[in-house]
C-alpha cells in the first residue's frame, strides 16, 4: 500500500472527479493506495489510465450519478463507467470480482499519476472486439 504519490499524502478519504466536475466520487483508502497498475485489456490499452482496485463498499458516488453512463463489452460482466459530458472514465465494476471496483487514479484530486514510476501492466485477458 502506498502512503504517498509524489509529494501527495494518501489520506483515508479522497475526492475523485471527472474532468468537467459533474461526477464526484469519494474513495476510501483505509490502508493507503492499493497497487496502481495498467490493465492490458483491449479497452484499457485505448483508455491508458492508471487504475487501482478497492472493495466496492469503499467507493461512494457523491454527485453526478445521472451523468454517468456505462459501457460493457465482450462477456459483458465488467461495467465501465464514464461521464457522459466529458468522457472521462471514473471507475469500473470488475468482471473478475463484482465485489470490487477499479478506479481511475488520475481522477483523484491533488494526485498526479505521472509521479508513479514503473506502473506495471496486468493481464487483462485476451483482447476482445466489442
How many chain residues are in contact with Zn ion, going by CB under 5 A? 10
Residues 21-50 that bind Zn ion (CB under 5 A): 22, 39, 41, 44
Strands 121-122 and 38-39 come out as parallel
User: 38 to each of 13, 28, 120, how far by Cα in Å?
Assistant: 22, 20, 6
Decide: is 83 part of the binding site for Zn ion (CB under 5 A). Answer: yes
Decide: is 108 part of the binding site for Zn ion (CB under 5 A). Answer: no
What gap in Å lies between CA 116 and CA 111, rounded to an integer?
A: 10
In the complex, the smallest distance separating the C-beta of residue 7 from Zn ion, rounded to whole angstroms, is: 27
In the complex, the smallest distance separating the C-beta of residue 4 from Zn ion, rounded to whole angstroms, is: 26
Phi and psi at 106, nearest 5°, equal -65, -15
User: Toward Zn ion, which CB reaches closer, 4 or 45?
Assistant: 45
Stretch that binds Zn ion, among 3-11, 30-38, 82-90, 106-114 (CB under 5 A): 82-90
What gap in Å lies between CA 8 and CA 113, rounded to an integer?
A: 11
User: Toward Zn ion, which CB reaches closer, 53 or 111?
Assistant: 53
Decide: is 124 part of the binding site for Zn ion (CB under 5 A). Answer: yes
Query: Are the C-beta atoms of 121 and 40 separated by less than 8 Å?
Result: yes
When binding is defined by CB under 5 A, the residue of 5, 16, 18, 33 that contacts Zn ion is 18
Question: Which residues have a Cβ under 8 Å from the Cβ of 126 and sit 6 or more positions away?
Answer: none
Residues that bind Zn ion (CB under 5 A): 18, 20, 22, 39, 41, 44, 83, 85-86, 124
Amino acid at each position: 500500500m502506498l502512503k504517498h504519490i509524489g509529494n501527495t499524502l494518501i489520506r483515508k478519504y479522497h475526492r475523485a472527479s471527472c474532468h468537467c466536475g459533474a461526477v464526484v466520487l469519494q474513495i476510501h483508502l483505509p490502508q493507503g493506495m492499493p497497487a496502481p497498475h495498467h490493465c492490458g485489456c483491449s479497452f484499457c490499452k485505448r483508455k491508458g489510465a492508471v487504475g487501482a482496485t478497492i472493495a466496492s463498499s469503499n467507493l461512494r458516488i457523491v454527485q453526478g450519478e445521472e451523468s454517468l453512463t456505462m459501457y460493457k463489452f465482450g462477456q459483458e460482466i465488467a461495467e465501465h463507467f464514464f461521464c457522459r459530458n466529458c468522457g472521462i472514465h471514473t471507475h469500473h465494476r470488475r468482471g473478475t470480482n463484482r465485489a470490487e471496483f477499479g478506479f481511475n487514479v488520475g481522477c483523484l484530486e491533488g494526485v498526479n499519476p505521472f509521479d508513479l514510476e514503473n506502473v506495471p501492466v496486468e493481464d487483462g485477458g485476451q483482447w476482445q472486439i466489442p
